[in-house]
Structure 1
């Protein structure tokens, strides 16, 4: 499967709540590192992430990947991602995120997915209190700092 086809299948599976098709894009030992929810290892956990986490408090997902670049082992793509929140305080608002997807590949499948996203504006869209946004962003910053590959950039 070529890069564009794989990325469209990735986005379509989330938009269509097709957790099985989404998980099949990963190797058996694949890991999805979500910017909010953490790591999901293995196809069963990755599939569960779609139903148990993504769709728990959201609906009407839209995900598009832009300007992909790959050497066959690593794939980078800018993305736009949005959903309609079902959280009471959001009052049905749509949250939109921009980010970069980073995927390690093996034999045409995703071994590891990471993302870097600008999350604070979306939380404002959802009408979260400033204190709640600050707490979420601080937690994400701490998780980023904990990643070994980030150490030299933070010194």
Structure 2
């Protein structure tokens, strides 16, 4: 199992220790909407806060996962609840690896549902 698969599995299981086990102690994790978590202590606090606010990963489906030496890239669909709201969005993650763990992880998210373009823009 690749590191990003293990990281995602930790979130699915709501297991902070499993998440932290995939990250270097000095990791940098950047969420798609802006927050940056530097190091295990901040990641652990983020996970604890998210779970305390009734955050729950309902599904995190991996569509494509690639490994390029010290780089892993994954495309996914994230389905979750947080503070009583259920949401789903598509995204991608780029992870840089060092010493067998993730040292840098950056997530990107789509801003609208995907659709096949047929000559007209649905939204911009």
TM-score above 0.5 = yes
- Give the TM-score normalised by the residue count of structure 1: 0.64
Report if the CA contact (8 A) 2:74-2:93 is conserved.
yes
Matched ranges for 1:16-35 at <5 A:
16-35=13-32
What's the offset of the Cα at 1:18?
Answer: 0.7
Gaps of 5+ in 2: 114-124
Report if the CA contact (8 A) 2:14-2:51 is conserved.
no
What's the offset of the Cα at 1:85?
Answer: 3.6
Change (3 A) 1:33 1:62: same
Give the 3-state SS of the residue equivalent to 1:53 in structure 2. helix
Gaps of 5+ in 1: 122-155
What's the offset of the Cα at 1:43?
Answer: 1.1
Question: Comparing both structures, which one devotes a greater share of its residues to helix?
Answer: 1
Match of 2:81 in 1: 84
Structure number with higher relative contact order (C-alpha < 8 Å, ≥ 6 residues apart): 2
What's the offset of the Cα at 1:74?
Answer: 1.3
The CA distance in 2 between the partners of 1:85 and 1:120, in whole Å, is 19
Matched ranges for 1:6-155 at <5 A:
6-36=3-33, 38-53=35-50, 55-87=52-84, 90=85, 94-120=86-112
The CA distance in 2 between the partners of 1:70 and 1:60, in whole Å, is 24
The CA distance in 1 between the partners of 2:49 and 2:55, in whole Å, is 11
**How many corresponding residue pairs?**
113
Give the 3-state SS of the residue equivalent to 1:35 in structure 2. coil
Structure 1 runs, 4 residues or longer, greater than 4 Å off: none
User: What is the RMSD computed on CA atoms of the aligned residues?
Assistant: 2.0
Change (3 A) 1:25 1:60: closer
